[in-house]
Structure 1
Amino acid sequence: MNQSTLQKYAMLLLCMSAGMVDLIGYLGLGHVLTANMTGNIVLLGIAIARAQEFVVLRSLLALIGFIAGNAIAAHMVGPVQTKNGWSSKVTAVLTVESILLLLFAIAMISPFSEQLSYLLIVILAVAMGMQTTAARRIGIAGISTTVLTNNLAAVVEDTVSILKKLRHANIRSLAKALSTDSYLRAGAVVIYLIGVIAAALLFRREPMIAVWIPVLIIGGVTLYVRLHAWGTSQQSES
């Protein structure tokens, strides 16, 4: 598998993990969103209006954690933009995210998960903030792994463009003419939804298993990228 294809599949898997994490946070940590900050800010506003102190605290912790994750990842990646967007520094960010998700999963299955709920919100939000910055730096097809609104808007724009072209082309030729980015943007929305549905079904029956899926996804992507980079460097040296 070439590097470009690897990155595209990895981005879709990051979208799936974000959908699962949002669902786990919402159902398992007191109806808080730790990946989608647009929705979280809406929940924060509602909680403030209704004077729901504990909901306000949870939403604020998620927001602060997400911002902290953005800042940490931005510091790790630095200002230099690599040609393909996926540098060793981006992989390092995803490695730290994998560790945070691992710590989250371990704490969630421990007897102290309820007492640690606020800390768990922060850990999950920091991990998602780091992933968001990493995905922005990779910059494939304008996909954001945690902001579904941007992805959905891009799909709608692609659809409008398709409808305009339908006047001058048949469906088969149009399908061939569509860019890979168009398919990726649509895939990002669909796979995010699949992640939410899968996590909802699994969390209802086996919540302690559900929390490990994002760990396996992010950890697997990170490990594969590292092995691929190592294999490529070995080939270039030989």
Structure 2
Amino acid sequence: MATSPAPRSSLPGLLLFLSATTGLVDAASVLGLGKVFTANMTGNIVFLGFAAVGTPGFKVAPFVVAIAAFMLGALIAGRVGTAHASLPLRHWLIRAAIVETVLLWIAAGIALVLHVPSQDPQWAVFAIIALTAVAMGFRNATVRQLKVPDLTTTVLTLTVTGIAADSKLAGGAGANLGRRIGAIVSIFAGAAVGAVLVMHSGLAAPLALAGLMVLVGTLVCARHPSAALPRTA
């Protein structure tokens, strides 16, 4: 008796969509919170090195808060992912999306009281850094456990490397070229839109939009038949 083929995963489409929200979040943090990344920790480590030796324009505290909050989010996501390993994927995805969306929307609400040029009040700056970094750490750890090749949603160094190193010019087969280019375009587009929103509407708009995109994109993905299967299936 013939069996039906397994439903194709909807995860690559979701992760490409979520990549755009990385650009939105980092646009808000870099342009509005003093050159701090809350989705990309490589930049923070470099900036922390600058701050550690007294480079003008760089302060230690924002980068330390961002890195610590990111790690906290990743720690929590690791526990959540382990608990959902044998459950339908949609349960895990929806709960992760709710966590990320709530954190981003709270950060957007706090951003309404922040005066960006003066970075006042300071508590709002650090609250937004912490909330968005926890959300992005949670996202990174979740995506890491999903193990979809070339779609981390936040980091592009290996993606750009893969395009060149695996190209036919380099003797490779050009594997996943469309997916890799899609990831770059998504983050680029998110950053461009985020920059426009920050310049014309403030920090709340890109953060609120990012949260909405995470929630809507995940709910659409969760309707796919493949989301009824557990992650380990």
Query: How far off its partner does 1:103 sit?
Result: 0.9
> Which of 173, 181, 190 is matched with 1:186 structurally?
181
Query: How far off its partner does 1:6 sit?
Result: 2.6
Task: Give the structure, 1 or 2, with the largest relative contact order (CA under 8 Å, sep 6 or more).
Answer: 2
Q: Which residue number corresponds to residue 223 of structure 1?
A: 219
Q: Which residue number corresponds to residue 100 of structure 2?
A: 97
SS at match of 1:145: coil
Alignment pair present for 1:44 and 2:39: no
Which amino acid counterpart does residue 93 of structure 1 have in structure 2? A
Alignment pair present for 1:74 and 2:74: no
Query: How far off its partner does 1:12 sit?
Result: 0.6
Within 5 Å, give how 1:151-166 maps onto structure 2.
151-159=159-167, 161=168, 164=171
- Kept in 1, the 8 Å contact 2:194–2:206? The answer is yes
> Which of 105, 108, 112 is matched with 2:111 structurally?
108
Q: Which residue number corresponds to residue 169 of structure 1?
A: none
TM-score, L = length of structure 2: 0.81
Distance 2:129 2:192 in 1: 21
Which amino acid counterpart does residue 148 of structure 2 have in structure 1? I
Within 5 Å, give how 1:81-160 maps onto structure 2.
86=89, 88-110=91-113, 114-115=120-121, 116-159=124-167
Alignment pair present for 1:204 and 2:199: yes
Evaluate the alpha carbon distance shift between residue 76 and residue 65 of structure 1 in structure 2; reply closer, same or farther with a 3 A threshold.
same
TM-score, L = length of structure 1: 0.79
For the aligned residue pairs, the C-alpha RMSD in angstroms reads: 3.0
Question: How many equivalent pairs are there?
Answer: 218
For structure 1, the 5+ residue unaligned runs are 166-176, 234-238
Distance 2:138 2:227 in 1: 26
Structure that is richer in helix per residue: 1
Distance 2:228 2:90 in 1: 13
Evaluate the alpha carbon distance shift between residue 131 and residue 42 of structure 1 in structure 2; reply closer, same or farther with a 3 A threshold.
same
Query: How far off its partner does 1:231 sit?
Result: 9.7
Query: How far off its partner does 1:36 sit?
Result: 0.4
Distance 1:182 1:82 in 2: 32
Distance 1:154 1:82 in 2: 32
Query: How far off its partner does 1:142 sit?
Result: 3.2
Distance 1:80 1:10 in 2: 19
Evaluate the alpha carbon distance shift between residue 91 and residue 212 of structure 1 in structure 2; reply closer, same or farther with a 3 A threshold.
same
SS at match of 1:78: helix
Distance 1:50 1:178 in 2: 44
Query: How far off its partner does 1:209 sit?
Result: 2.5
Alignment pair present for 1:29 and 2:36: no
- Kept in 1, the 8 Å contact 2:37–2:44? The answer is yes
Distance 1:71 1:79 in 2: 13
Distance 1:44 1:146 in 2: 19
1:205-230 deviations in whole A, cap 9, x for unaligned? 12242332211111112222344469
Evaluate the alpha carbon distance shift between residue 29 and residue 80 of structure 1 in structure 2; reply closer, same or farther with a 3 A threshold.
same
Q: Which residue number corresponds to residue 173 of structure 1?
A: none
- Kept in 2, the 8 Å contact 1:203–1:210? The answer is yes
